[in-house]
Structure formats: C-alpha cells, structure tokens
Amino acid sequence: MDVDRLRALLTEVHSGRLDVEQALDQLRTLPYADLGYARLDTHRALRQGLPEVVFCQGKTAEQVAGILERLWQDHDRVLGTRAAAEQAAFVQARLPAARYNPVSRLITLARTSLPPPAATAPYVMVVTGGTADMPVAEEAAQTLEFLGRRVVRAYDVGVAGIHRVLSRAEQLADAAVVISVAGMEGALTSVVAGLVSCPVIGVPTSVGYGAHFGGVAPLLTMLNSCALGVAVVNIDNGFGAAVYAHTILRQNCRGDAT
C-alpha cells in the first residue's frame, strides 16, 4: 500500500464512509503478502517512499508475472528490473498494461502518470564511457524517469577521447547528481568527479577484456578514486545508482512529493 492509498483510506474512515473493521480488512496484508514462493513487502512504500521493486533475473516467467500482478493490486506504479524478453512477453500476456524496454530490461506498470519535470528542475546526468555501457546506463536513466526525475544523457564520452566529456563540462557542472557508468578501467568516474561539485555515483560495468575481471577492475578504480565526492555501487547496478540519486534529490527537495 502506498501513501496516497493509505491517505484515501484514512479519509474514508474519518468521513464515516468506511467503518474501522472494513479499513482493517484492507490493511491485513501489511506488512507483507505471502505468495508461497515470495513474501512481498507491501509496506515498503510507507517506510521508504518507494514500493518493492522486482528483480526478475533468476525467477521463472510465471513467478515474475505473479509478483508483479500482486504488487499491482496495492500500488499504482510498479517496476521490474533485469527482465529477459521471454519473461516480459509472459508478463504482458497476463498484464496487458505492462511496458518493456529491451535495452534497460525494465518492466513498468503505471495507472497514473507523474507530471513531467520542469525544464528548470534539478537533473541527474547519466554519462557512459562507451556505447557498450548503455544497457546499465539506461537502467539508471529510465528508473529515474519512472520516478519522475529529470535526466540528461551523455553517452560514449570515455577517457580514450577526453575532449568528448569536456565538451559536456557545462552540463556536468549544472547537474544535481552525476551517474558515471564505465567498464574497462573505469577511469571516467574520477575524471567526472574532478570536474563537478555535486555527488558522483560510479557504476562499474562488466564490459571489458580478461584482466578486467568482469567489472572488478573498474570497481576497484572507482573505489580508489582520488577525486572527492564519489560513491560507488555494485557492478552493473544501474538501478541502485538511480535510487541513490533519487534519494539525494528527495532529501534536498523536502517539498517534493515524489
């Protein structure tokens, strides 16, 4: 149950249109719904401001659909990450309202549309070292857009051609948060952090050759950055970076209802 639904329920009780026992019946699923193969945290939106998000990788298509369907009963906006095309097709057959993006691998369900962010709203800038980093970057960017945030993208601006990222220096300087997504040696994050005064979130990717160790090399580079203001999430974790950036903006904009 999200904040808006709970507020509406309490308003119904306060007005006398709903009695206490009827309200209790609607609240009995808190704090979780037990599906047997999953226990869904239906109380999370009240605690953290965001409902539970479904990590689809490793689950069967039927499990993914069942979890999303149950969350869809309690929330107006539902998100699934790391969904394969086959899982998405199964979900869409069961939930026609579901939308799938094959690049970000996100499944989204939304009964309500958030107002588009103002052109002057604080933005998160998502940058990548190379084109191959785009799936992780789009997971971050599209998650932020699903949460109602303004996003500016700058892709394939890695350090092998440093002039490419320097050409976006003004946009980087004006960003509220930067998410830097890079594989190979992951040096882009330190370069970006040396150009800006805002928080920088490094996302190492599993893009690279053998000694790259599936993302460990850029992870260590980012963790050992000599630039200030860098936080680092796990390898390929674009979603985690997006939620962290969203949290920073929410803390800085207390009047923001998102």
For residue 1, the model assigns a pLDDT of 57
Locus of tokens 């690049």: 103
For residue 241, the model assigns a pLDDT of 98
For residue 110, the model assigns a pLDDT of 93
Q: Which two tokens stand for residue 200?
A: 């920088």
Locus of tokens 């674009």: 238
Which domains are present in the chain? 3-110 (no CATH), 123-252 (3.40.50.1970)
Prediction pTM value: 0.84
Give CA–CA dist 60/83, Å, rounded: 10
Locus of tokens 């928080």: 199
Return averaged pLDDT per consecutive 10 residues of the chain, 258 residues in all: 73 86 68 72 72 91 94 88 97 96 96 88 96 97 96 95 94 97 95 96 96 95 94 97 95 58
Q: How many helices (H) and strands (E) does the chain have?
A: 11, 11
Residue 101 three-state SS: strand
CB 95 within 8 A of CB 72: yes
CB 172 within 8 A of CB 229: no
What lies within 8 Å, CB to CB, of 40 at 6+ separation is: 32, 33, 52, 67, 70, 71
CB 189 within 8 A of CB 201: no
Q: Where are the alpha helices (H) located in 162-215, listed in sequence order? A: 162-166, 169-174, 188-193
Question: Can you say how many angstroms the Cα of residue 247 is from the centroid of all Cα atoms in its chain?
Answer: 10
